[in-house]
Structure 1
Amino acid sequence: MTDDTGERVTRRRFLRTGAGVAAAGVAATGSAAAQEDGGGGSTEITVGPGGSNVFDPETAYVEPGGTVKWVWDSGGHNVAVESTPDGAEWTGHEPIEDAGFEYEHTFETEGTYEYVCTPHASVGMTGVVEVTTDPPEEPQGYQSILPNSAKTLGVAAVGSMTSVLGLTYFFMRYGGDYGEGDHE
């Protein structure tokens, strides 16, 4: 089989080209996701993961201008503010919500924001948002700056490209619907 320039198309050349295309697609997906973030970073906190009475992570780090999203994994929880830095305007989300609810806030003022789940404060359901330009190295520093939708899109794109490459290889290897004289 030959390409448009008359050169022979080998499996190795085909797969090398396909791998390059797949890598470019993954890089483009990551760049688009990073541009979408808009600065300041973002993180997601799971409220009551698996029915437990905790915020996961208990301490989240974001830069000034960063957004924190709380996602309820179980019901009967809220986010009630205990303390904020001077000049900060954050009121939390006091109504009790059920699984699937989401609440987010963008933090502009540097400092420590402490909050609790009112119904479960007595069993230690507390959380902290640290808004800082200098997060600690351990344990994690800033949490996920890449939205889950971008990660899913990247995985789907790579899967799609791999499928196309696999089918193309199969047809190149084993043939297809060629008329007489159309193949070598």
Structure 2
Amino acid sequence: MSDPTDRTPDAGPARPTRRRLLAAVGAGGVAALAGCSGGGAETDSGPYNGYLADAAGFDGEAVDRTGNAEVTVAVGTGDGFAFDPVAVRVSPGTTVVWEWTGMGSRHNVVAEDGGFESNYYASEGQTFSHEFREPGVTKYYCTPHRNLGMVGVVEVAEESA
């Protein structure tokens, strides 16, 4: 019986090289991602759909709360590891108040861009607030539960003329 690692000049390598294996895996990954692109029209929640792809409880649409001076987002909903609403659209000058439900252990709220960071709370009724003045999208998360999909978005709409 011959050794499977033996090579003859015209037989080529008995096993794929690491480089060929990585190239094949990379090409397969690109092909898989290409098949996932929607190619359709972008929805109103388009600017952050990728960020919320694994968000617990996200149905693909932002909840419109424009015109309200204050908006509440529950912390620790669903199985205790979600925000509700996950994505909310507000007007410039709106204060968003995150209110803890007491479910899912200790949570915090941290802006991706470093614009705000709450303390860790676990008790029901604890709150943290932030005023959103400028139009744009703020992505945020709970530090210990981010990998469980505990992420959210506040979209500040342009002021209408």
Normalization by structure 2: what TM-score?
Answer: 0.51
Structure 1: unaligned runs, 5 residues or longer: 1-38, 85-89, 136-184
Normalization by structure 1: what TM-score?
Answer: 0.45
2:92–2:159 contact (8 Å) kept in structure 1: no
Structure holding more helix per residue: 1
Deviations for 1:20-47, whole angstroms, at most 9, x for unmatched residues? xxxxxxxxxxxxxxxxxxx763211000
Structure 2: unaligned runs, 5 residues or longer: 1-66
Report what 2:73 is aligned to: 45
1:51–1:73 contact (8 Å) kept in structure 2: no
Higher relative contact order (CA 8 A, sep 6+): 1
Q: How many residues align?
A: 91
Return the alpha-carbon distance in structure 1 between the equivalents of residues 79 and 68 of structure 2: 31
Q: Quote how far apart the aligned CAs of 1:134 are.
A: 6.7
- Partner letter of residue 68 of structure 1? V
User: CA distance change for structure 1 residues 50 and 124 in 2, over 3 Å: closer, same or farther?
Assistant: closer
- Among 110, 121, 126, which residue is 1:101 paired with? 126
User: CA distance change for structure 1 residues 116 and 102 in 2, over 3 Å: closer, same or farther?
Assistant: same
SS in 2 for 1:115: strand
Q: Quote how far apart the aligned CAs of 1:50 are.
A: 5.6
CA RMSD of aligned residues (A): 2.2
Report what 1:70 is aligned to: 98
Which stretches of structure 1, 4 residues or more, deviate above 6 A after TM superposition? none
SS in 2 for 1:77: coil
2:74–2:98 contact (8 Å) kept in structure 1: yes
SS in 2 for 1:122: helix
Report what 2:86 is aligned to: 58
Report what 1:80 is aligned to: 110
Identity among equivalent pairs (%): 37
Q: Quote how far apart the aligned CAs of 1:52 are.
A: 1.6
Q: Quote how far apart the aligned CAs of 1:49 are.
A: 2.2
Q: Quote how far apart the aligned CAs of 1:70 are.
A: 0.3
Q: Quote how far apart the aligned CAs of 1:113 are.
A: 0.3
